[in-house]
């Protein structure tokens, strides 16, 4: 309930320079005032102005309020932000103490003794939503910002947090609502409001709305890759240089590299920040026919990784004469097993190749060297273009990164297509109004204007404690 004052640790619970305990609710100032004294040993918080930082000490809570007999716990700074100009829209007090795990837990314990309740996961953000400080899409962006793993993912999350997704959704809702209101008004007052020519006008509007919805839905594929990273698997024959490629992309010697074919026997997984994007990179065992049971398990796992990947990077050693058989036969046969996968062919070891013959293929082919770095930037730009078509380098694009938002957009699209069908079949205008309202409601779920308490609780329960 919002009449309760809640508290939680808002920083990571680990050894650090600073730890923050956040307190929010109608009694936030009064509660922290019970355990905090200023530089002169006096309780001061009830008299300080909003949005100030105050120096002092946290004490053990005393039932009788005697500060002289209370044990000093830590030297700290206390921020006071009074309603409504705070993150939650309530009175908020944040205690900035030293970041030791024990001392942070101790300070929180005293806050709870003084009358606060331990916050549930995401409860601060939920209160910000309920108090109108954030809509639901903006609130969800808070966690996206925290979990961002690349510059592009962070930009997309910041855009959502700043309201760009919400503005787009609200604009579409306003247009749909206007036309719903027009239909209802015309049906209620046909003598003064005519629907003549309206079906033709609505048909044109539908085309525009469906185009916008489709664009947002398509952006979710890119948004998912921005948020989660691109599942990328390195495939190729033994000793093609896959592990060297992985080490170069990682910037460290993570995978074992030798001249002995078949060194890698299992998959090796790492997340890397590759330019503006993230790759969930998997190095695999070299693919070849083998009687070795252990190596065969590695080959099977490599093929399984390829099945689940978003991108296959097929690495070919062009430094020996046998490589052209691999180019013309091996990789084509392998990649044909994954016809729906995006793939890039790396002609590796070009720095020691006598001559290089590029294969005849529809896949991008890049000459590459882990020694000189040749092809590194080309690989980066090729992946960006392949998955984002330049989107990752832009700041102003509206990108849907949340699968819940996509589902709502799909529902909206379905309702709009029903409107189109009704128009094509010459249905009465009240049928149009029903499906338009369905589209309006589906969009409202994205920003939280048409969600029930259970859904809101489920969404915020996935947030971390203290947010």
Tens-place pLDDT, residues 300-330: 677 677 788 889 898 888 887 555 555 555 5
- CATH architecture entry for 231-370: 3-Layer(aba) Sandwich (3.40)
Which residue reads 């993150």 in tokens?
87
In tens, the pLDDT along 8-31 reads: 999 988 888 899 999 999 999 999
12: tokens are: 């990571």
The three-point CA angle 192-194-196 to 5° equals 160
Which residue reads 């942070």 in tokens?
104
Q: Give the strands of the sheet with 311-317, arranged side by side.
A: 268-274, 277-283, 230-236, 311-317, 342-348, 365-367
C-alpha span between 441 and 289 (Å, rounded): 57
Q: What is the DSSP string of 318-337?
A: -SSTTHHHIIIIIHHHHHTT
In tens, the pLDDT along 191-208 reads: 888 888 889 999 999 999
Q: How many CA atoms lie within 13 A of 309 on its CB side?
A: 30
C-alpha span between 78 and 229 (Å, rounded): 38
Q: Residue 36 pLDDT more than 90? A: yes
Find, among 126, 18, 57, 219, the residue nearest to 455 by Cα.
126
Provide the pLDDT confidence category of residue 430 given band limits of 50, 70 and 90. confident
pTM value is 0.70
C-alpha span between 381 and 394 (Å, rounded): 14
Q: Residue 391 pLDDT more than 70? A: no
Count Cβ atoms within 10 A of the Cβ of residue 449 and give its class: 0-12 exposed, 13-18 middle, 19 or more buried.
Answer: middle
Which residue reads 């009465």 in tokens?
428
- Whole-number mean pLDDT of the chain? 83
Find, among 21, 96, 4, the residue nearest to 54 by Cα.
96
C-alpha span between 405 and 139 (Å, rounded): 13
C-alpha span between 412 and 437 (Å, rounded): 10
Q: Residue 265 pLDDT more than 50? A: no
Mean pLDDT of 354-383: 86
Q: Tell me which range, 11-20, 103-112, 148-157, 349-358, is most confidently predicted by mean pLDDT.
A: 103-112
Provide the pLDDT confidence category of residue 261 given band limits of 50, 70 and 90. very low
Provide the pLDDT confidence category of residue 264 given band limits of 50, 70 and 90. very low
Provide the pLDDT confidence category of residue 375 given band limits of 50, 70 and 90. very high
Mean pLDDT of 168-177: 94
C-alpha span between 434 and 199 (Å, rounded): 15
25: tokens are: 């609710």
Q: Tell me which range, 13-17, 210-214, 295-299, 429-433, is most confidently predicted by mean pLDDT.
A: 210-214
Which pLDDT does position 267 carry in this prediction?
Answer: 57
C-alpha span between 102 and 14 (Å, rounded): 9
Superfamily of 141-224+400-448 according to CATH: tRNA modification GTPase MnmE domain 2 (1.20.120.430)
Provide the pLDDT confidence category of residue 291 given band limits of 50, 70 and 90. low
Q: Of 64 and 179, which is predicted with more confidence?
A: 179
| 6-133 is a CATH 3.30.1360.120 domain | yes
CB 255 within 8 A of CB 283: yes
Handedness of CA 261, 266, 267, 269 (dihedral sign): negative
C-alpha span between 37 and 47 (Å, rounded): 12
CB 312 within 8 A of CB 305: no
C-alpha span between 323 and 321 (Å, rounded): 5
C-alpha span between 209 and 216 (Å, rounded): 11
Which residue reads 């609200």 in tokens?
170
* Three-class DSSP category at 93: strand
The three-point CA angle 360-361-363 to 5° equals 145
Which residue reads 């003549």 in tokens?
196
Quote the percentage of the chain above a pLDDT of 90: 39
Provide the pLDDT confidence category of residue 413 given band limits of 50, 70 and 90. very high
| Backbone angle region of 324, left / alpha / beta, with phi > 0 → left and psi within -120 to 50 → alpha | alpha
Cis peptide before 84 (omega within 30 of 0): yes
Which pLDDT does position 393 carry in this prediction?
Answer: 45
Which residue reads 């008299």 in tokens?
47
CB 337 within 8 A of CB 317: no
Q: Of 362 and 98, which is predicted with more confidence?
A: 98
Find how far residue 152's CA is from the centre of its chain.
10
In tens, the pLDDT along 322-355 reads: 555 555 555 566 667 777 788 898 888 888 887 7
Provide the pLDDT confidence category of residue 437 given band limits of 50, 70 and 90. very high
* Domain spans of the chain, in order of start: 6-133, 141-224+400-448, 231-370
C-alpha span between 96 and 72 (Å, rounded): 15
Count Cβ atoms within 10 A of the Cβ of residue 443 and give its class: 0-12 exposed, 13-18 middle, 19 or more buried.
Answer: buried
Which pLDDT does position 445 carry in this prediction?
Answer: 92
Mean pLDDT of 273-299: 68
445: tokens are: 């779920």
Cβ neighbours of residue 284 under 8 Å, at least 6 residues apart?
A: 233, 234, 235, 242, 264, 267, 268, 298, 301, 302, 305, 306
CB 463 within 8 A of CB 121: yes
Which DSSP state fits 315? Answer: E
Provide the pLDDT confidence category of residue 227 given band limits of 50, 70 and 90. confident
Handedness of CA 218, 226, 270, 143 (dihedral sign): negative
């Amino acid at each position: 309930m919002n009449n309760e004052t809640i508290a939680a640790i808002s920083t990571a619970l680990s050894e650090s320079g600073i730890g923050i305990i956040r307190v929010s609710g109608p009694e936030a100032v009064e509660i922290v005032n019970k355990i905090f004294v200023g530089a002169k040993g006096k309780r001061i918080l009830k008299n300080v102005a909003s949005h100030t930082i105050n120096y002092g000490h946290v004490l053990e809570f005393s039932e009788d309020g005697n500060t002289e007999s209370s044990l000093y716990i830590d030297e700290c700074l206390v921020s006071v932000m009074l309603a409504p100009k705070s993150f939650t829209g309530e009175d908020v007090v944040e205690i900035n103490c030293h970041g030791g795990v024990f001392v942070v837990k101790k300070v929180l314990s005293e806050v709870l003794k003084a009358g606060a309740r331990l916050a549930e996961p995401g409860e601060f953000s939920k209160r910000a939503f309920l108090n109108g400080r954030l809509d639901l899409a903006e609130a969800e962006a808070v966690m996206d910002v925290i979990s961002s793993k690349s510059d592009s993912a962070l930009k997309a999350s910041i855009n959502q947090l700043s309201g760009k997704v919400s503005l787009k959704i609200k604009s579409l809702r306003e247009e749909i609502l206007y036309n719903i209101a027009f239909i209802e008004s015309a049906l209620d007052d046909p003598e003064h409001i005519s629907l003549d020519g309206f079906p033709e006008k609505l048909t044109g509007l539908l085309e525009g709305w469906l185009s916008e919805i489709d664009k947002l839905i398509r952006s979710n594929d890119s948004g998912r890759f921005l948020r989660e990273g691109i599942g990328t698997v390195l495939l190729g024959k033994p000793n093609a240089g896959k592990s060297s490629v992985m080490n170069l992309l990682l910037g460290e010697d993570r995978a074992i590299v030798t001249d002995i074919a078949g060194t890698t026997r299992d998959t090796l997984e790492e997340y890397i920040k590759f330019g503006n994007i993230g790759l969930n990179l998997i190095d695999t065992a070299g693919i070849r026919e083998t009687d070795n049971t252990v190596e065969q398990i590695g080959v099977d796992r490599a093929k399984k990784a390829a099945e689940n990947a978003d991108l296959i990077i097929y690495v070919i050693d062009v430094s020996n004469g046998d490589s052209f058989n691999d180019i013309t036969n091996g990789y084509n046969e392998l990649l044909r097993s994954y016809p729906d996968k995006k793939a890039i062919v790396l002609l590796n070891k070009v720095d020691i190749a006598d001559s290089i013959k590029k294969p005849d293929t529809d896949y991008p082919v890049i000459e590459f060297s882990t020694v000189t770095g040749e092809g590194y930037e080309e690989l980066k730009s090729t992946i960006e273009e392949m998955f984002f078509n330049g989107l990752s380098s832009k700041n102003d694009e509206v990108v849907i990164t949340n699968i819940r938002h996509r589902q709502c957009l799909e529902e909206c699209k379905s309702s709009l297509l029903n409107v189109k069908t009704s128009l094509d079949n010459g249905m009465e205008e009240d049928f149009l109004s029903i499906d338009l309202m369905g589209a309006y409601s589906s969009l409202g779920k994205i920003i939280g204007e048409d969600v029930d308490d259970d859904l809101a609780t489920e969404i915020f329960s996935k947030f971390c404690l203290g947010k």
